[in-house]
């Protein structure tokens, strides 16, 4: 089974990074340019909460429903209940970084479906496309948290 891993740092406290990711609209901010996201249901991240959305990539529309589990101070997991993959378990981890800031780690275990649906999923969710998506998400997370610190009148940590 393929496993994708991403890791980046953010110059913000763990609590701020966790709160950002728990907010229902975070998914919109983490969606890269060129993709359109329409949230249908977005509950704050909590044990058993649900997020449902449609992702539009050019002419393709992908409906996705995920449930959150293993929610705690160190992160959470979202599990696809309905969507393009046969299996998708995405673990988000937030750890304090020595010297300040936060390490954000993402681990995704996934499996492609069979048949034509699997071919489409293999074309859309390649290791390279996931790497590019998470590079964008690192940038978007840093930007959003920097803006939040500036709105609060705090200097971003370094």
The share of the chain scoring above pLDDT 90, in percent, equals 86
What b/e readout covers 41-64, taking b as 16+ CB neighbours within 10 angstroms?
ebeebeeebebbbebeeeeeebeb
Tens digit of each residue's pLDDT (9 = 90 or more) over 120-133: 999 999 999 999 99
Tens digit of each residue's pLDDT (9 = 90 or more) over 34-48: 899 999 999 999 999
Q: Specify the CATH class of 3-151 in words.
A: alpha beta
Helix axes 14-22, 127-151, angle to 10 degrees: 110
Q: Would you kindly state where each structural domain of the chain is located, as residue ranges?
A: 3-151
CA distance 92 to 73: 11
Torsion from C-alpha of 77, 48, 29, 155, nearest 10 degrees: -80
The residue count of the chain comes to 158
The share of the chain scoring above pLDDT 70, in percent, equals 96
CA angle 96, 100, 106 (to 5 degrees): 40
- Can you read off the two tokens belonging to residue 140? 């978007």
């Amino acid at each position: 089974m393929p496993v994708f891993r991403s890791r980046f740092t953010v110059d913000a406290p763990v609590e701020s990074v966790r709160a950002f990711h728990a907010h229902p609209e975070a998914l919109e901010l983490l969606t890269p340019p060129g993709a359109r996201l329409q949230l249908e249901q977005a509950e704050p991240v909590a044990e058993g909460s649900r997020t449902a959305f449609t992702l539009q990539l050019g002419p393709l529309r992908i409906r996705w429903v995920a449930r959150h589990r293993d929610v705690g101070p160190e992160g959470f997991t979202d599990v696809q209940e309905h969507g393009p993959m046969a299996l998708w378990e995405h673990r988000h981890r937030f750890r304090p970084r020595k010297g300040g800031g936060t390490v954000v780690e993402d681990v995704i275990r996934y499996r492609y479906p069979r048949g034509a649906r699997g071919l489409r999923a293999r074309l859309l969710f390649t290791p390279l496309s996931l790497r590019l998506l998470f590079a964008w998400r690192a940038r978007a997370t840093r930007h959003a948290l920097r803006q939040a610190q500036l709105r609060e009148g705090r200097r971003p940590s370094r």
